[in-house]
Structure 1
């Protein structure tokens, strides 16, 4: 259990060896966290995109078609495939109700379909007939955005099917788009790497170079997150690109001080350009698909990699989560779409225990030490520590002599600051044996847990205390103050076993 608020750096606290073993047991079972339950192989060419409604899955391809499948058994609907486009279909998306599907193509059109019978509702022609690369419905269904290869972005009235407003970016093709879950704004990404924010009047609110070699995809998390300090809430935005990076940005919900977009972090893991990214419906997971043929599942709160899927045999071009359940679709240039099911209990335990491995200072990797340096405002020393291969064990053994002679840190003040921070770590290690590990304490009662359960916010609580919390009509997380996606409580058997072992070794 992470004892800090979401979005805050982890608290570096050492734990007992018994607990370490228990935590690792569950992580070794990570291979069962995600299960491939179905493969669709109906397209005759590269799969470019896939999208979910609450009951359907849509896929589109270079083969000029869009296919619709029922989520109940993944059978193709009788009126599928949908045929109209005369060239490759690049993107498709459902309206929030799921009754309308939009698709866009190299042929310069965005087509609206009735999902119940497959009939064409409207054909929207892009100005100057430029190939349309991306399309998105607004959360309130009033608008549809289409972005084209010539840099034009069109805001369509989704009721009258008329062009409402039009704009353009300075350079490159528009290849990515996402609407903010609240506030009337959306972002676009270009092949030149520019991330642009627009309001509903097509006014450019912000623009910056986000990825040097070009943006390929972007997605907003639908769940707001608290910063845990000033009680501010914000939405996360993920962008990915040809530079093999995923970047996380935050957009505050409040617009009192005007629009603001802040860079937060960069996720690593892929070794080739990343073509797709998507948040889960509960905002807890982020997935990405890459030219390296893999799909990576991240815990967005810790930014740790939970799982890597490697079943596709060619580039992974698209990934999408279902809107209400942990169901994932991934599409590829191998002409297939894979459907993945997540084990919720395993996921909660893995997400909870992934954080619990990191606090062992002596077990820190060189990257963990780099992260710690950044949290201690010592970012300028990351390169020096990496050059000297300083891991957790080496860190605890550093002295003023080794800092000066081996690491060549000339500043006496800087050396003193590093030694002071290291001494704080040593103190934590020494005092652990006489203290109850904080992860064993219920955040509500502040007492040692006897029957720990995992709530839908990913944190563990004493069962009775959490049940009482919920029974008082509190549907918010005691840790984050955000609305709980579910009131289901899952027994945390791994934590229970660790607490029992700790009690056995600390009996007086």
Structure 2
């Protein structure tokens, strides 16, 4: 069962990251602030929140394993360490080379803190001493993903070049997968389970991948082995974040397609697709102690979810309380009804006032093709006992058949960022066309990188694409 606990709306710009400890939730944003909430007090914001020590947008935040400290990193080239109890700055760690810092992570025993920057540098810090131990550089790429293994002896990094790398605590590279994700890695995280070590990664190729790492720390460096175990394809646009549950059984990811997906991590089965965010989902994080997950988005909100079935605390396929009301026609207008997913059917039921049937339809795996073939007898088999309700469903389906829900929107008319029909298309320095508002927001929060290639934009100048705008206008008029 998945239920929405609350929606937090404190930030004034994109939410870039979420982190959960046993007692607190922290979020950070392009508005230069972090906000801290108490998980024990219905996610009420703490008196000292927001934290305002950064000079530019904050890209990442993470709690120390004991929950006593909070680290955050920013375009201002610093990683700031905060006291969670008082909200005071404990240390300011200036990144070598003064490059914007994109990501940071604690080791499981809190002895190390690592930060990654836009110039490709990794900095490993002695956390208790707040002292720089060593640095390494990934050439021609921005480091955007970091995660320590559960044993604390290995560090994974991912970059906009598309590579995944493993490092030991002396910052020696022990493995490199050069083309882990086409067009760039966006996030990576280790499963908390130590017996069988898994690493999840996601990227601009719209995929989530699960890698298995064997013989780790049992043989020489040459004996390290990393193999691709699963490729998850539950989302239709670049995947920006991923996170394992505390027991390693679930894996969540957030995407540019505005969805959050939850998988059975062991069997690579998609369990749920959550559609409550209105812009692309940039962050997701599980609580280390509870069946709670937080997701953050460019819609400036953070959603907090409870994920359990009341018995084992794990998801049970077919059980859910989530409303599909956010899955609007904007997301389905590009599809023929026969191509609708089960989630699209659920969204349609809600919009038509038939939300009471959503669980039944989902349990019976009714997608668009099945929906169009539903008859009176089918509804009887589904135990829809009310004659009036059966009649209403059949009328709505007939209306659906008579309306061109999808006119086959050409992909070039859709903004690559929002995946919606463009109203004011502009050409960026990478040669691609985007909705003006979307690419401007992306540039402001992504350090001038291309959404399509992840390479730096040579200029932030945006040129109106009048030809494309007229073409979209003509297509809209005729459809």
Q: TM-score interval w.r.t. the shorter chain?
A: 0.5 to 0.7
CA shift for structure 1 position 343: 2.5
CA contact (8 A) 2:249 2:264 kept: yes
CA contact (8 A) 2:78 2:95 kept: yes
Match of 1:217 among 178, 181, 187: 187
CA shift for structure 1 position 170: 1.9
Q: 1:44 corresponds to which residue? A: 12
CA distance in 2, matches of 1:345, 1:36: 15
Matches within 5 A, 1:183-222: 183-208=152-177, 209-222=179-192
Instruction: Determine whether 1:245 maps to 2:213.
Output: no
CA distance in 1, matches of 2:317, 2:219: 35
CA contact (8 A) 2:309 2:316 kept: no
CA shift for structure 1 position 352: 10
- TM score, norm. by length of structure 1: 0.60
CA distance in 2, matches of 1:274, 1:324: 25
Q: 2:316 corresponds to which residue? A: 350
CA distance in 2, matches of 1:202, 1:43: 36
Consecutive unaligned residues of structure 2, counting only runs of 5 or more, are: 320-479
Match of 2:271 among 285, 288, 306: 306
CA contact (8 A) 1:299 1:351 kept: no
CA contact (8 A) 2:188 2:242 kept: yes
Deviations 1:301-340 (A, max 9, x none): 2211111100000010000000011100000000000000
Q: 2:416 corresponds to which residue? A: none
Deviations 1:82-134 (A, max 9, x none): 11111000000000110010000000000000000011111000111100000
Aligned residues: 313
SS of residue in 2 equivalent to 1:83? coil
- TM score, norm. by length of structure 2: 0.64
CA contact (8 A) 1:272 1:290 kept: yes
Instruction: Determine whether 1:330 maps to 2:321.
Output: no
CA contact (8 A) 2:73 2:80 kept: yes
Structure 1 pair 38–253 and aligned structure 2 pair: CA distance change class (3 A): farther
CA distance in 2, matches of 1:288, 1:316: 9
Matches within 5 A, 1:403-414: none
CA distance in 2, matches of 1:324, 1:335: 26
CA shift for structure 1 position 249: 0.2
Indicate the structure (1 or 2) with the bigger Cα radius of gyration. Answer: 1
Structure 1 pair 181–253 and aligned structure 2 pair: CA distance change class (3 A): farther
CA distance in 1, matches of 2:314, 2:2: 12
CA contact (8 A) 1:234 1:253 kept: no
SS of residue in 1 equivalent to 2:196? strand
Q: 2:249 corresponds to which residue? A: 284
Consecutive unaligned residues of structure 1, counting only runs of 5 or more, are: 1-32, 225-232, 354-508
Instruction: Determine whether 1:55 maps to 2:31.
Output: no
CA shift for structure 1 position 252: 2.5
Q: 2:196 corresponds to which residue? A: 234
CA shift for structure 1 position 223: 1.5
Matches within 5 A, 1:428-439: none
SS of residue in 2 equivalent to 1:189? strand
CA contact (8 A) 2:215 2:225 kept: no
What RMSD over aligned residues (CA atoms) do the two structures have, in Å? 1.5
CA distance in 2, matches of 1:182, 1:260: 17
Q: 1:67 corresponds to which residue? A: 35
CA distance in 1, matches of 2:157, 2:16: 18
Instruction: Determine whether 1:269 maps to 2:234.
Output: yes
Q: 1:181 corresponds to which residue? A: 150
